[in-house]
Structure 1
């Protein structure tokens, strides 16, 4: 393995792949909403867990997902 390759022997940079970021954020938000429904259903059962921390994590995931969705829609050409 060589650590340094001369410029004339280097391969050209590949073109970046086009991705659908909006779809990825929508799927992520759907999963966070499913987690919210599951946790709200678990509140009625006698299972021992910390609902405040769990709901805070889900809320943060939803907020960051919405922010990412807005940014990715704005940055779309």
Structure 2
């Protein structure tokens, strides 16, 4: 699948000229982004765990459970993104190339 076509390198809008950089997207499938987010939720949970008693006394115990829920949902999201990446890779392999 080739999405390359000639795009304008600059746009003139009003009295301003905008130049378009020729760069590739960094993370097309989102796996790394979800991995980092999931790891941060786990880190937040582990960082709050020693303060369980203090959080309970102040009525902020939900902070701990929010981090745990974020980690759990991140695991589901990670599996979803990995399956999507695998499906896209299989589709690219099975797709016939240009003749």
Superposed pair shares fold, TM > 0.5:
yes
Residues in 2 aligned to 1:43 and 1:60: alpha-carbon distance in whole angstroms: 16
Change (3 A) 1:45 1:18: closer
Report whether the alignment pairs 1:50 with 2:60.
Answer: yes
State the TM-score, normalizing by the size of structure 2. Answer: 0.51
Matched residue pairs, number? Answer: 63
Rg (Cα) greater in structure: 2
User: Any stretches of 5+ residues in structure 2 without a counterpart?
Assistant: 1-6, 9-23, 90-99
Distance (Å, rounded) in 1 between the aligned partners of 2:65 and 2:45: 10
Say which structure is richer in strand. Answer: 2
Deviation (angstroms), 1:44: 5.5
The normalised TM-score by structure 1 is: 0.62
Does residue 43 of structure 2 align to residue 34 of structure 1? yes
* Deviation at residue 18 of structure 1 after TM alignment: 5.7
Q: RMSD over aligned Cα, in angstroms?
A: 2.5
Question: Could you say which structure has the greater relative contact order, defined with CA pairs below 8 angstroms and 6 or more residues apart?
Answer: 1
1:5 corresponds to which residue? none
Alignment CA distance shift 1:44-1:56 (3 Å):
closer
Query: 2: CA distance between counterparts of 1:69 and 1:36?
Result: 18
